[in-house]
Amino acid sequence: MVHDLSGKVVLVTGASSGIGKELALVLTKHGCSVIATARRLPLLHALQHEANSFSWDESSKLPRPGKLSILRLDVSADDAAIDAAADEGWKMFGGIDVLVNNAGVRGPVKSPLDWDEKLWNGTMDTNLRGPWLLTKAVGRRMRAAKRKGSIITVTSTAGLERSLLPGALAYSVSKAGANHLTKVLALEMGKYNIRVNAIAAGMFKSEITNDLFDKPWLPAVAKKIVPVGRWGIINPDLTSLVLLLASDASSYVTGNVFVVDGGQSLASVPVWSSL
Ligand SMILES: NC(=O)c1ccc[n+]([C@@H]2O[C@H](COP(=O)([O-])OP(=O)(O)OC[C@H]3O[C@@H](n4cnc5c(N)ncnc54)[C@H](OP(=O)(O)O)[C@@H]3O)[C@@H](O)[C@H]2O)c1
């Protein structure tokens, strides 16, 4: 194990599937006490069952696994509801050291001219307002308890200037906002010993991308357009960075948007060679 995370309390949003689920499991295996949150409680119960089946592995010398508790948390709810959920989460293990704002929605692929206001608001509430409100609720408690903290938000390369995504107006704008939110929060929260970073993820297999990953031609596309020649694998490609940002090994690291996409967003269309 590279980073000592034993005893850290981590709240993960969107832990019922995909990236959040994998993060919750890996953090638990690294000795954290994890509060796994989402809206679909049956999936969280299944996750809890899986997490609690870990055992100490003498041969690999992996740390004693932490515990995983579950909590229903809708990140698109209003300030008061999010604050109440944060309060419940805070009390579960007597505090929170790390918040992973992972919950997110992609929405349908549509022209900006066909996008409707309700969809726009729903995407913004989940991907942008939610991370702010939850960071506020958890950050206030960290500040009051004089407890240093790390906030990690999973954004997307779609929110980078160099990698705009057609058909995903609200998604791209919300993720760009979340990248900026990260930097402003880092600027303001450093004095409370709270670090704030974002991870702009490229493409990883999850519920959002399941259909795409079923296409037999997809690996060949990666060979053409991703510099490292493949799509991301949540564990370890994303989990490794979350472990670092959650640990004290990154205590001088704040205000960054880390791009984890195998270099995909660097490339332009290679018009003078063959696709
Ligand atoms: N997969 C990729 O290629 C990729 C690329 C870039 C960025 N990302 C980002 O990574 C994050 C995780 O996505 P994923 O790929 O793992 O997709 P996923 O498998 O669809 O997971 C999304 C998670 O977000 C939760 N969620 C959605 N709306 C919520 C709400 N209002 N309140 C609380 N939880 C909510 C869902 O749980 P419930 O439905 O149970 O609430 C689910 O656990 C997202 O922010 C996404 O934008 C993913």
Q: On the CB side of 36, how many CA atoms lie within 13 Å of its CA?
A: 33
Atom from ligand 1 closest to the CA of residue 40: 40
Handedness of CA 123, 127, 128, 134 (dihedral sign): positive
Nearest CA to ligand 1 atom 36: 14
Best CA proximity match to 37, nearest among 8, 82, 74: 74
Specify the pLDDT at position 65.
63
Residue 244: inside a domain:
yes
Ligand 1, from 12, 16, 34: best to mutate by most atoms within 8 Å of Cβ? Answer: 16
Residue 2: inside a domain:
no
Catalytic residue among 90, 93, 132, 171: 171
Specify the pLDDT at position 75.
98
Residue 272: inside a domain:
no
Specify the pLDDT at position 66.
74
Q: Is the CB of 38 under 6 A from ligand 1?
A: yes
Q: What is the CATH number of the domain that holds 200?
A: 3.40.50.720
Domain that holds residue 180: 9-262
Q: Reply yes or no on whether 171 is catalytic.
A: yes
Q: What is the mean pLDDT of each run of 10 residues along the chain (275 residues)?
A: 84 98 96 97 96 66 73 98 98 97 94 94 98 98 98 98 90 98 98 98 91 94 94 97 98 98 85 62
Best CA proximity match to 234, nearest among 225, 223, 243, 226: 243
Say how many domains are in the chain. 1
Specify the pLDDT at position 147.
97
Q: Is the CB of 107 under 6 A from ligand 1?
A: no
Residue 139: inside a domain:
yes
Residue 275: inside a domain:
no
CA of 144 to the centre of ligand 1 (A): 30
- The model's pTM: 0.95
Residue 24: inside a domain:
yes
* Coil, strand or helix at 29: helix
